[in-house]
Amino acid sequence: MSQRLTTAQAIIRFLKVQHVTRDRQEYPFFAGCFGIFGHGNVAGIGQALQQNPDFPYYLCRNEQAMVHTAAAFAKMSNRLRALACTTSIGPGATNMLTGAAGATINRLPVLLLPGDIFARRNVAPVLQQLESTSTQDISVNDCFRPVSRYWDRIQRPEQILTALPEAVRVLTSPAETGAVTLALPQDVQAQAFAFPDEFFEPRKWTVPRSRPDVESLAQAVESIRAAKRPLIIAGGGVIYSAATEALSTFVAQTGIPVAETQAGKGALAFDHPQSVGAMGVTGTSSANRLASQADLIIGIGTRYSDFTTASVTAFQNPAVRFININVTEFDAAKQSALPLVGDARVILEELSRALGLHKVHDHYADEIARLRAEWDAEVDRIYSRHIGPPLSQAEVIGLLNSTLGPKDVIVNAAGSLPGDLHKLWRSRDPKGYHMEYGYSCMGYEIAGGLGVKMADPSREVYVLVGDGSYLMMAQEIVTALQEDIKINIILLDNHGFSSIGGLSRACGSGGFGTEYRYRQGRGLTGANIPIDFAANAASLGARSIAVKTIEELREAIGESRKQAGTSVIVVETDYYERVPGYESWWDVPIAEVSEQEAVREAHLKNEKAKQRERYFWPAK
């Protein structure tokens, strides 16, 4: 038997019956569709969504933002649930490119359904069509190819019979997941076809817990037993695999310390005896000192970004070797590692059994405890240092850390906040720290907060956002109000791009072009622009307040928690006050020639530091 449906109707019908299973638990995979309608999708996907009210449609304000929301939803759901996003052809589609790149880089499943030009071509060029003199088989949607893990253009209705299963296979694959793009010509969306009934039968996609090669596992056990100074670097894969308890058990058994990437923060509670905090450029003194002398690095679910490796200067022991646990062979092979390709939880459990009573030497355990205590004292010192008003960013973080509940979630993405949060935030729950740092995309924060709250409405969500990111994408406050989704937004007003301002000064450029000032003569050197962020948030419908002191901020946070809807707290922070770096460095190339002495000096320092960059070779 068959059902005569339009392509768009069949797509939505198919998405509704896809499920994933892991550990004998089953989840509906797609939780609905975000979108903005235009002529390229309103009569196709739009009509299909209207016809299927049990598949929720969410109206957003910005196409990039809705992809961020979908990515945050998937991240908070450990990649076991996803959202679709639909747009018209043209600027609506290309607005999604940034979000698509972020989802793919962060290995998060998002289904993109942009409208496309007419497949039958006779009315071309249609509104918003990009024409090419070399081919008629191209549109702006081809831009999605490099930022998608799977890309297809549906030229005939029956092509979705093979395209949709392949798209969902990629989305549900822990090794391959990311953005998936199905470009939908607007005429094909509306075309009807007799789709077989079997196509709409409920389908379960198993998310496997794959096991590693037995011989490689045995080699890993030998390497761990032989190591005198092993260190684990926990990445996002630990959390996505729900391997946090297995990690806690493994390190309690072996005594191996754990440093965390941005995506892996929360893999261990901050007060776990083996937790040494953040790793890398935005890392702690304890983690970075241990990494420098480690003879074995065990990477779990990390892709080793330059912030994690401190531009490959973090590991200075000449004898250092790597073991990488990862579901993705590509990541498992990095740093010439011994790859253990498989599920993080399963591999940790198998390593625990194989290692038995093995434990690090007492002198190394004593060193770990000493470095942990030193770092705890440093965090206490920073939290208790009051300079305002204006407040320091660290003061704000300290107050939030002491005020928020153990299950509350903080959300952030870009600017100087990620560095300070990575170092200073004392995580108590694997899902309490939500950072988009694979792409570090300004504007993610508020949209991401929506996705976090949609994924787990039981949690209180706090979005930390700088004034630069807020000005780029504040409008999703309206979406929060529309959907009655409560988020608490803490907006730090430091009159500019503080993070890049600090980097600019470190590079000898004095913060050029990074402050929100009036033009004076030839430069932006006048007075600060007096932006009333509280009034702006109120104009969008949020409850808003501006505060100056730590006491006012504490009271405002308490009040926002009592409120039923979204609120915005604006607090002025010091543009120049920042948390120090600890035993780390980041390679940002600096001009080799310059008339500025500060730039020349910075270049010389950078060239000297580059000499510590390393290549890593496999064990003999």
Could you write out the three-class secondary structure of 81-128? Answer: CEEEEEECCCHHHHCCHHHHHHHHHCCCCEEEEEEECCCCCCCCCCCC
Predicted confidence (pLDDT) per residue in 199-240, tens digit = 999 999 999 999 999 999 999 999 999 999 999 999 999 999
> Using 50, 70 and 90 to split pLDDT, how confident is the model at 600?
very high
284 φ, ψ to 5°?
Answer: -90, 160
- Spell out the residues 6+ positions from residue 547 whose beta carbon is closer than 8 angstroms to its own: 553, 555, 556, 569, 570, 571
Say what the pLDDT of residue 498 is.
87
The mean pLDDT of 168-173, rounded to a whole number, is 98
The mean pLDDT of 158-170, rounded to a whole number, is 98
Q: How many CA atoms lie less than 13 Å away from 8 in the CB half-sphere?
A: 28
C-beta neighbour count of 364 within 10 angstroms: 18
Question: Distance between the two ends of the chain, CA-based, in angstroms?
Answer: 62
* CA 364 to chain CA mean position, Å: 33
Secondary structure class of 179 (helix, strand, coil): strand
- Mean residue pLDDT of the chain comes to 96
Longest dimension (CA), the chain: 78
> Using 50, 70 and 90 to split pLDDT, how confident is the model at 387?
confident
Is the pLDDT at 421 greater than 90? The verdict is: yes
> Using 50, 70 and 90 to split pLDDT, how confident is the model at 499?
confident
Say what the pLDDT of residue 578 is.
85
Q: Report percent pLDDT > 70 for the chain.
A: 100
- Spell out the residues 6+ positions from residue 89 whose beta carbon is closer than 8 angstroms to its own: 38, 39, 40, 41, 114, 115, 116, 117, 126, 128, 129, 139, 140, 141, 186
Predicted confidence (pLDDT) per residue in 101-125, tens digit = 999 999 999 999 999 999 999 999 9
> Using 50, 70 and 90 to split pLDDT, how confident is the model at 477?
very high
Alpha-carbon distance of 238 to 240, in angstroms, equals 6
The mean pLDDT of 349-353, rounded to a whole number, is 98
Say what the pLDDT of residue 405 is.
95
Strands 25-28 vs 18-22: parallel, antiparallel or unpaired = antiparallel
Say what the pLDDT of residue 388 is.
76
Is the pLDDT at 575 greater than 90? The verdict is: no
The mean pLDDT of 272-293, rounded to a whole number, is 98
Which pair of tokens denotes residue 422? 């990575």
Query: Which structural domains are found in the chain, ordered by start?
Result: 2-206 (3.40.50.970), 214-375 (3.40.50.1220), 385-572 (3.40.50.970)
C-beta neighbour count of 402 within 10 angstroms: 10
Is the pLDDT at 76 greater than 90? The verdict is: yes
Q: Which residue has the higher pLDDT, 36 or 575?
A: 36
449-460 burial code (b ≥16 CB/10 A, e <16): bbbbbbbeeebe
Predicted confidence (pLDDT) per residue in 507-562, tens digit = 999 999 999 999 998 889 999 999 999 999 999 999 999 999 999 999 999 999 99
Alpha-carbon separation of residue 325 from 134, 252, 347, 596 (angstroms): 46, 19, 8, 46
Alpha-carbon distance of 184 to 46, in angstroms, equals 12
